Amino acid sequence: MAKKKKGLDKVVPAASKLTAPKTEAPMLVTRPVEQPKVVEVVEAAPVARDEIARLAFARFVARGYTHGHAVNDWLSAEAELRSAKH
């Protein structure tokens, strides 16, 4: 059945008796928070940038001044100097 509210020209449906009763939201179940593991960082012996640059440039010259290998030259020079210090 529809009821007409005063002051409105529209017909508003009456509340249904078949609507479900309101229920509470389910509780959220959480796991206990685990403490982060502490990891010890061991740094390698520092190598001077100018030493790495000198060795990387020597590799560039030995290759005949061929461009496109700067990163590989730098990383291999750094690795070589680090291993020499240990």
What pTM value is reported for the model? 0.47
Q: In the block, which residue shows the tokens 């179940």? A: 29
Which amino acid is present at 57? F
pLDDT digits (tens, 9 = 90+) for 10-68: 655 555 566 666 777 777 778 788 888 888 876 766 789 999 999 999 999 999 999 99
Non-local (6+) Cβ contacts of 74 within 8 A are: 52, 53, 56
Evaluate if residue 5 carries a pLDDT over 70. no
What ranges do the domains of the chain cover?
A: 44-86
Distances (CA, A) of 21 to 15, 24, 32, 40, 75: 13, 10, 34, 57, 69
CA 81 remoteness from chain centre: 32
Q: Which of 1-5, 21-25, 42-46, 76-80 has the highest mean pLDDT?
A: 76-80
Structure confidence at residue 62 (pLDDT):
95
